[in-house]
Amino acid sequence: MHFLVVKLSAIGDVVHALPAVAALRSAYPDSRITWIAERTAATILVGNPTIDELIIIDTKAWRKRFWQPRVWKEVIQTIKRLHSYPIDIAFDFQGLLKSGLIALLSGSKKRFGFSTNGLREKASRLFLSDQVDVNNQVHVIEKNLQLVASLDIPTKSTYEFPITVSDQDQEYITNLLAKYNLSEFAIINPGGGWPTKVWPPKYFGEISDWLWENYQLASLVTFGPGEENLAESVVNAARLGHTYQITTNLKQFVSLAKRATIFIGGDTGPLHLAAACHTPIVGIYGPTVATRNGPFDPKDVTVGLELTDLSCRVNCYRRRCPTNNECMDIPVQMVVRAIEERLPKIKLWQLKKHNNSSAALASH
């Protein structure tokens, strides 16, 4: 049996598909599993023990230069590679026209995808041979598991996130922490992927100072491509000198997250990677819904304004905001309370300092 997994991007989407593919591998240990993904998200899949082959594509570059013979050569080579081992079942976890087309071009006669209500682009149903009824209100991890469960595959109560990190990437993080003499630290990730998901950098700077004043937790500020200035703004907004901007790749970030005391950030790839690493999380949510694609540990805490109290529609998922992004104007004090709730109680006495000074931030 040969399965094709079509989950192209983004980083969080790929992470959320890992438990379903792990369940597929557990049920079919001797079968072949191929995963096709976009270059921007494929890094996290390199060395994944649940898959036999990773096919990396770059549809964004293809669209920009579609008239060039080199692009068409790459497309044809990708199709040939898909056909090199006949595919019995293709799973479209993306629900887009391009992912459905890839499933079709794979040559598989069985192409499983979500019921129409669960598709991001409804017309992609035309490329599917079988649609699986899914509950679109549950966490996206559960939604993905429902797709493979259509083959009577048992699913586990705990999620598996097989991510392989090299010794070199582990060593990079070990040396980085030694450079700053850190054993306990917070990760602050100010990026959001979309402008509408970004909490003001000055607020993150205040949180970083508060973490140092109350828990003597230094903050490591991480960022994605194009977010360097955002991370720098957080460092500049912090006053106490214990906030450091660092550079990591995705696998190095996984190693970092596994050692972190807490992660604080918005709905973006690093948050989902931190969740996969079981890092304690405080998530800051605005236009998206935490119950659908937030951290899944019941001890984690998410904060956000009730969209019903704002002049916009519920669960807007807009990348551009007509109301000045007011859903992300979340008070610092609200995030402070969430951090106090999320930090494990054992940390409250292990960490050196806790003086309940959060009242100083009540004006925000």
Rg (CA), the chain: 21
User: What is the Cα–Cα distance from 248 to 172, expressed in whole angstroms?
Assistant: 9
The rounded distance, in Å, linking the Cα atoms of 55 and 60 is 15
What DSSP state is assigned to residue 321?
Answer: -
Mean pLDDT per 10-residue segment, the chain (364 residues): 96 96 96 96 95 96 89 94 97 97 97 95 97 92 95 88 97 97 96 82 97 95 92 96 96 97 95 96 88 91 72 61 70 95 65 42 37
Please give the Cα distance from 195 to 193 (Å, whole number). 7
CB 9 within 8 A of CB 41: yes
Secondary structure of residue 228 in the 3-state scheme: helix
Q: What's the rounded Cα separation, in Å, for the pair 275 and 253?
A: 12
Q: Do the Cβ atoms of 231 and 238 come closer than 8 Å?
A: no
**Sheet (strand 53-57) strand order:** 53-57, 32-38, 2-6, 89-92, 110-114, 130-132
Output phi, psi for 31, to 5 deg: -85, 165
Structure tokens at 163: 């991510």
Residues 353 and 215: beta-carbon distance below 8 Å = yes
Torsion of CA 194, 15, 255, 196, to 10 degrees: 10
Residue pair 290/265 in contact (Cβ under 8 Å)? The answer is no
Amino acid 42: pLDDT: 95
Distance CA 201, CA 220 (A): 14
- Strands, DSSP E only, in the chain? 2-6, 32-38, 53-57, 89-92, 110-114, 130-132, 185-189, 218-221, 243-245, 262-266, 281-284, 301-303
pLDDT of residue 346: 47
Exposed/middle/buried for 178, CB within 10 Å: 0-12, 13-18, 19+?
Answer: exposed
Residue holding tokens 């709905």?
A: 267
> Residue 264 and residue 279: Cα distance in Å, rounded?
10
Decide: 262 and 214 in contact? Cβ < 8 Å.
no
Q: For the chain, give the number of residues.
A: 364
For residue 362, the model assigns a pLDDT of 35
pLDDT recorded at residue 358: 37
CATH of the domain spanning 2-151, picked from 3.60.15.10, 3.40.50.300, 3.40.50.2000, 3.50.50.60: 3.40.50.2000
Which fold does the domain 167-361 belong to in CATH? Rossmann fold (3.40.50)
Residue span(s) of the chain under CATH 3.40.50.2000 come to 2-151, 167-361
Q: Which residues of 2-40 are buried (b: 16+ CB within 10 A; e: fewer)?
A: bbbbbbbbebbbbbbbbbbbbbbbeebeeebbbbbbbeb
Tell me, what's the pLDDT at 154? 86
Q: What is the pTM of this model?
A: 0.89
The residue whose two tokens read 């980085």 is 176
Omega before 10 within 30 of 0, i.e. cis: yes
φ and ψ of 313, to 5 deg: -80, 155
